[in-house]
Structure 1
């Protein structure tokens, strides 16, 4: 299926789910950075990223959908990429009627979802497909902080691989957050530590992967006469070590270690 067709279907699915939601938040955003990096490639790639995010809650849980469309100057040629992340979290307290609050934990959930991406980069061109499932702790903080331990079932079909390759099932420790820090500012983002996933598509050993992506955002809505949290702007930073499980000390080279500052703008509706 064509990437933009799948993206359109994902956005329509999010819009449909909002009708049954008790609350929902949608946003369209833009990010730009000049220090993106790719395994087997450069470390100074420029990328423009158009983003759509949907979050909603209903009686028994919540949905999250993120769609990134990227254009870059990778390997001296224009490259396009689409990345979709979907998660559904079932709130076990709401389902069972039991109280799972304990210490800093206010609740317990079960999360399932998928990652899907495609890119036409001539050197690596990952086509990741990944299923995700595992328990999630809801931490008792202003805003939200969710921490979970998940099992990942992942496959890929990059350049030079004749058929889709499936890695060993492996665990991930993940966190996502959105925390107000006062005076219109908020700290938002995610961090994932992913265990090695066995041999890669070419018979090499994969490496543990760490991906931190955080941003400090400021609500500029009031200055423009808009409702609260309608328009946000800020700075984002991503640190991605051993990207896609490729060791930056191996053949993938320094492109598997990304240190990327970005500017970010979001319109919420």
Structure 2
């Protein structure tokens, strides 16, 4: 059964704010990073809308903008993907993004370096106006809101290693409007993100793991639990070209996605070439 999500989300934020120490008067930006990535792969899982229309090809380029920042009160993270099909037969591109604000709750020390409030807005849309048989102005957009708690762990050799547990509030899914305006129940998500800098900082191994529980639809349909393991292995090619170190990286990203979007028929195994520029 759907809950009054906005009220519940706001209530949860109030509770988290109550137990989160206020930032000091000297709260300030400690660091920030902007980056732009280009991915190119040929094994993306073909996706179809409920009306059977295929929205993406298996061959795609992805442009990703990222911004991360650290403050005396906590941190933020934003990324936006623009997914573009390379086959002319599939003209519908898509956009996906996440925005997180993670205030520090307390710092125990030792193996658990930090405990933080984990909040996230997950959003996306598809440009389906090019297809005469599926031309709704809102495309297949969605907004999900995640609320939970996370820890920053002191894993040896890791630049950071964060684990967060969320409750997912699946509030807005226009894609499901084509199946009797069905809605999705809430579910849970476990997220792990990490970064290891190796070989004197010239090799970087980072990525994320998302594990989500299954959820029910209002019309009686059920999803499958999902598992997305996406690591990147990159080399500091900019330093070889005489550029400032740690600015231009080249490498690969591998996607191991079981039951993509909760669909038991979508299992993705996808190797992408990667170029990433920090500016």
1:178 aligns with 2:195: yes
Give the match for residue 213 of structure 1: 230
> In structure 1, how many angstroms separate the alpha carbons of the residues matched to 2:58 and 2:253?
16
1:139-164 Cα shifts (integer Å, max 9, x gaps): 10320110011000113122762786
Larger RCO of the pair (alpha carbons < 8 Å, separation 6+): 1
> Does the C-alpha gap of structure 1 residues 83 and 163 become closer, same or farther in structure 2, counting only changes over 3 Å?
farther
> In structure 2, how many angstroms separate the alpha carbons of the residues matched to 1:230 and 1:197?
41
What TM-score comes out, normalization by structure 1 length?
Answer: 0.80
> Does the C-alpha gap of structure 1 residues 259 and 126 become closer, same or farther in structure 2, counting only changes over 3 Å?
farther
What TM-score comes out, normalization by structure 2 length?
Answer: 0.77
Give the match for residue 119 of structure 2: 112
Give the deviation of 1:21 after TM superposition: 2.2
Q: Is the 8 A contact 1:36 1:44 kept in 2?
A: yes
Deviates more, 1:136-145 or 1:41-50: 41-50
1:191 aligns with 2:209: yes
> In structure 2, how many angstroms separate the alpha carbons of the residues matched to 1:165 and 1:225?
56
Give the match for residue 64 of structure 1: 77
Q: Is the 8 A contact 1:156 1:164 kept in 2?
A: no
Give the match for residue 242 of structure 2: 225
Q: Is the 8 A contact 2:183 2:217 kept in 1?
A: no
In the alignment, structure 1 segments of 5+ residues that lack a partner are 1-19, 94-98, 249-255
Indicate which of 115, 139, 154 corresponds to 1:140.
154
Give the deviation of 1:100 after TM superposition: 1.4
User: Which structure has the greater CA radius of gyration?
Assistant: 2
In the alignment, structure 2 segments of 5+ residues that lack a partner are 1-27, 49-53
- What is the aligned-residue RMSD (CA, Å)? 2.4
> Does the C-alpha gap of structure 1 residues 197 and 74 become closer, same or farther in structure 2, counting only changes over 3 Å?
farther
Give the deviation of 1:182 after TM superposition: 2.1
Give the deviation of 1:111 after TM superposition: 1.1
Give the match for residue 127 of structure 1: 141
1:262 aligns with 2:272: yes
